[in-house]
Structure 1
Amino acid sequence: MSGRTTGRRGKAERAPLNRERVVTAAIALADEKGEAGVTMRAVAARLSVEAMSLYNHVTGRDDILDGMVDAVFSEIELPTSGSGWKTAMRDRAYSTRAALLRHPWAVGLMDSRSQPGPATLRHHDAVLGALIEGGFSIGMAGHAISLIDSYIYGFVLQELSLPFTSDAELADVAGDILRDLPADMYPHLTAIIAERASGQGYDSADEFEFGLALILGALPLLPANPSTEVNTTPENRGV
């Protein structure tokens, strides 16, 4: 029998195409170019296949986006039972922030899908479970998740939009602003920018923890229905 192999057998076999490979390729594209860079043609090119072959595994771009969001949720650590709700929510918040910083395109998509995947459903169920186990009613658990997620997503959006990524860049940006800022017109703004320019006044992790600690500290003090139960003491009425 001849020891020669055909050209077909001699080539490295390509991994079969499947939904996971399509979604993974789309995530890589989005990490490089943003959500807008994820098109059927671009994903197919990344996989070295024809665009039409993708439809054997996904129904279209929306289906790919569903898979991408579900993949990001799968990267977020699930709350550990018995760890206490504050610890669970703090750990989950930090894990969520880390995942969103790895995938900046995902911030605006996390709660946008009408067809949530298994990782998304598992995540939300576990978070609700940790809060309910900690003594929250179902309604208050819903309020808590909404509040915490609004903070996380908003913080990450702001963090990603900052015009610096290091202390040195922060000092340069703050210094440029100070040079053009009339200190006598904006004394308070000048003071805080000068503090930032010193390189000692801003740390994104510290800022994140400051707000998160306030939220987690306040949650147990909220009424069962914050939208209707308000404090009507004279101080809060302005009397």
Structure 2
Amino acid sequence: MTVWDRPEPPTRPAPLDRDRIVAAAIALADEGGLDEVSLRKVAARLDVGPMRLYGYISTKQELFDLMLDEVYAEILPAEEPTDWREALHGHAVRTRQAALRHEWLADLLGGRPTLGPNAMAVGEAALSALDGLADIDTIMRAVETVSAYVTGAIRRETANLRAERATGLSKHEWQQAHGPHLTRMLASGRFPTLAKAVHDGRHIDAEETFTTGLTWLLDALAPKLSPPPA
């Protein structure tokens, strides 16, 4: 029986429910990452004994599942998209925005499918927007391809943010600190194409990088999602 199927216990002696537990866990994760989430710390934030939580969740993994599904509610489209491209583009952008609000999301994406109601609603919204454009296997591969791109891009962007905090150096400060080494390596002539990219390439921010890659990916999927001839 999954955590979503298991009924909650009575709320005495102090009011408690899964929503409050999940909200406290998300707050802890937002402040310090998933390593800060433990049943003991969640219980302390709610001012209850840790054993009280076991009536609502059995393991920390169940708590992570509930946290993930709660964030999936932020990824659901507010309105039904008008076409498949809008649906997949919107899904990708909303997922990235959610990950920027909750950096720990990157650590939970890409694993086994979550069976929470919000996650399933997100999946239904993506698949239904493509329904009828191709066979179901092609549709599933298209959605999975976009999801894989989004997960990879989010993890890279999140890793950069974490590295910046860990070193205490901004991107510009890090580049200044490592600039002399990079200059010497490129001047050696061993990496001509990399040197061209560094010296001549246009440097863009994370959002533009994400949007450009997403556009190229959707362009590549378009021929496979053309409506069948009448």
- Please confirm whether the aligned pair reaches a TM-score higher than 0.5, indicating the same fold: yes
In structure 2, stretches of 5+ residues that fail to align are 1-12
Show CA shifts across 1:113-157 (max 9, x none): 565111111110111001115x13211111011110111110011
> 1:17 is paired with a residue of what secondary structure?
coil
**1:171 corresponding residue in structure 2:** 172
**1:215 corresponding residue in structure 2:** 217
Show CA shifts across 1:23-81 (max 9, x none): 11111111122222211111111111100011222223222111101011111032743
**After the TM superposition, which segments of 4 or more aligned residues of structure 1 sit over 4 Å from their partners?**
none
- For 2:89 and 2:141, how far apart are their aligned partners in 1? 16
- 1:191 to 1:171, Cα distance in 2 relative to 1, 3 A: farther
Q: TM-score, normalised by structure 2?
A: 0.79
Of 77-86 and 35-44, deviating more is 77-86
Matched, 1:142 2:143: no
Q: TM-score, normalised by structure 1?
A: 0.76
Of 38-47 and 55-64, deviating more is 55-64
**1:102 corresponding residue in structure 2:** 101
Identity %: 32
Q: Which amino acid aligns with 1:136?
A: A
> 1:136 is paired with a residue of what secondary structure?
coil
- For 1:33 and 1:169, how far apart are their aligned partners in 2? 19
Of residues 185, 204, 207 in structure 2, which corresponds to 1:205?
207
- 1:195 to 1:203, Cα distance in 2 relative to 1, 3 A: farther
**2:92 corresponding residue in structure 1:** 93
- Return the offset for 1:216: 0.3
| Rg larger for | 1
- 1:142 to 1:187, Cα distance in 2 relative to 1, 3 A: same
- For 2:15 and 2:200, how far apart are their aligned partners in 1? 56
- For 2:67 and 2:107, how far apart are their aligned partners in 1? 12
- For 1:82 and 1:57, how far apart are their aligned partners in 2? 36
Kindly report the root-mean-square deviation, in angstroms, between the aligned alpha carbons of the 2 structures: 2.7
**2:26 corresponding residue in structure 1:** 27
Q: Which amino acid aligns with 1:124?
A: G
- For 1:138 and 1:218, how far apart are their aligned partners in 2? 18
**1:132 corresponding residue in structure 2:** 131
- For 2:56 and 2:118, how far apart are their aligned partners in 1? 19
- For 2:210 and 2:63, how far apart are their aligned partners in 1? 31
- For 1:82 and 1:64, how far apart are their aligned partners in 2? 31
- Return the offset for 1:173: 2.2
> 1:56 is paired with a residue of what secondary structure?
coil
- Return the offset for 1:164: 4.6
Say if 1:71 and 1:119, in contact at 8 Å, map to a contact too: yes
- Return the offset for 1:22: 0.3
> 1:104 is paired with a residue of what secondary structure?
coil
- For 1:84 and 1:223, how far apart are their aligned partners in 2? 11
- 1:83 to 1:15, Cα distance in 2 relative to 1, 3 A: farther
Of 74-83 and 144-153, deviating more is 74-83
- For 2:164 and 2:143, how far apart are their aligned partners in 1? 30
**1:61 corresponding residue in structure 2:** 60
* Higher RCO (C-alpha under 8 Å, 6+ residues apart): 2
